[in-house]
Chain A
């Protein structure tokens, strides 16, 4: 039975590069996939592209490519990535320049079609119930989560490196499987299983011991040198998840179960552009050291709609922090919060929303410390969403002024402000989206 070896080179934009190089060199991989786009990243990239038509792709693209391409070329490992972000063609051009400079015989393809800004005006946003056009000038970007079609087309045409923008994350992994095994696009069982493989791999180390360690309870060996995962996928879509010998971390039933449910709502209905994947009957079996067999995935017909991520400007955010320690620190922190609140009230309706938390007491844990003893220190954090930049700046300034005009013993102020790029979602009929792949030769013309 034939098998595909597919590995993860990145699970988010800022991911570590060394484990990807290790996989490229020693993984004997058919495909190495870099998933680098979060919900908001593409809206930020679109802004960059508006400012400079040659920009708008992943800032680490060139570094990642330089790091892995020599080994990928040597080992016949092909690359699929969404590092094209808002500008896959420019990303392909840049990659081609790197390929030329390194003297490698690799072809590069760009996949386009996810940018649906011209189509989005009448679509209703899930969050607001209003059409996207109501955002007016604040609307920045609209990108559909496209499926495997463009990537498969590029791989079928012989591309060694395929660069797309917004695609569903699992589709980056499903596409090479569809290409290699020739799965039919209505083979819901296999498409569901391939999606499962993609879902398990798409967050890199989150299945090999990252986002997992809990000292004394869930220990992870050599987490500092955690390896990235790879899957050995059979043509029936079932797979073994593993990692390279000698790397840190672990692959176990526990790591796989946590990742299986990561960002999943109904496990029986994981909505994807090409299939509704069904993870509800998945079985995980440890069959060796750092080897877990995954079976039981399946799928149901696709809905015919694509999720669209809509980016828009949503005001400015200002923030300030200051610490209090020792005797009565909680009361002093609370007084400080109240002073900032009173002083900011002068700004009236230009402050749209605000909150103050004591870090160490109730900033991230709902309900706070649940009767725990007074902490040794707390850090006041005031954050506000504001109508304009000036007001946002004022939030941090009012925290800073607590040095002289606040409670006793406040120290270590930090402050920041930035524009808020928010993301909403909508649905678009899949048939209205045209996906295309362009090989590097085309881009030369």
Chain B
């Protein structure tokens, strides 16, 4: 099962840092998401994007996780050569993760 089936996500950017929220649609899926999405698992899935480090914050009352990925934007929005310099697409890439 893909994460996409039980969670939604949004990417934000500040300088060279990307943050991706992952939010359970239903309360009953929260424990599974919370347990499966360790920072290590997310870093592995995101590959090069997460080459530096991934920090995770949890907001259990909202069934939400927030992943902060440093160095994800290769110099930041203003100087990155990437097509999607903001990393706006990254949340959907994370939702491809197989649970």
A contact residues vs B (CB 8 Å cutoff): 39-40, 126-127, 211-212, 214, 217-218, 253-254, 257-268, 279-284, 296, 314, 317, 353-355, 357, 359, 363-367, 370, 381, 383-385, 420-423, 425
Give the residues in chain A near B61, CB-CB below 8 Å: 281-283, 296
**Contact indicator per residue, chain B 52-78, by CB within 8 Å of chain A (1) or not (0):** 000101010110101010000001111
Cα(A282)–Cα(B23), bound, Å: 14
Say whether B35 faces chain A, with CB atoms less than 8 Å apart. no
**Are the C-beta atoms of A366 and B12 separated by less than 8 Å?**
no
Chain B residues with Cβ below 8 Å from A211 are 10
Q: Do B62 and A284 have beta carbons less than 8 Å apart?
A: yes
Question: Do A422 and B66 have beta carbons less than 8 Å apart?
Answer: no
| Contact assessment for A366 and B79 in the assembled complex, using a CB-CB cutoff below 8 Å | no
Q: Closest residue of chain B to A318, judged by CB?
A: B81
Q: A62 vs B48: C-alpha distance in the bound complex, in angstroms?
A: 44
**How many residue pairs between the two chains, A and B, have CB atoms under 8 Å in the bound complex?**
117
Q: What are the 6 A-B residue pairs with the smallest beta carbon separation, nearest first?
A: A263-B12, A261-B21, A258-B10, A383-B81, A364-B84, A422-B79
Q: Is the CB of A264 within 8 A of B12?
A: yes
B76 & A381 in contact (Cβ 8 Å cutoff): no
B76:A267 contact, CB within 8 angstroms: no
Cα distance A127–B61 when bound, in Å? 35
Among residues of B, the one whose C-beta sits closest to the C-beta of A256 is B62
B33 in contact (CB, < 8 A): no
Q: Is the CB of B81 within 8 A of A423?
A: no
Contact with A along B4-18 (1 / 0, CB 8 A): 100011101111110
- In terms of DSSP, what is the predominant structure of the interface of chain B? mixed
- B81 and A385 within 8 A (CB): yes
Given contacts A261-B66, A267-B66, contact A127 B81 (CB under 8 A): no
A284 to B23, CA, bound (A): 13
Q: Which residues of A contact B83 (CB under 8 A)?
A: 357, 359, 363-364, 381, 383
Give A127 to B46 CA distance when docked, in angstroms: 23
A262-B79 in contact given A282-B59, A283-B61, A284-B62 (Cβ < 8 Å): no
A-side contacts of B82, CB under 8 Å: 355, 363-364
A370 touches B96 (CB 8 A): yes
| B25 proximity list for chain A (CB < 8 A) | 254
> How far, in whole Å, are A280 and B10 apart by their CA atoms in the complex?
17
Q: Are B19 and A264 in contact (CB under 8 A)?
A: yes
Q: Does B93 make an interface contact (CB < 8 A)?
A: yes
A421 contact set on B, CB distance < 8 A: 78
Which of B19, B57, B78, B81 is within 8 Å of A263, CB to CB?
B19
Contact B19 A265 (CB under 8 A): yes
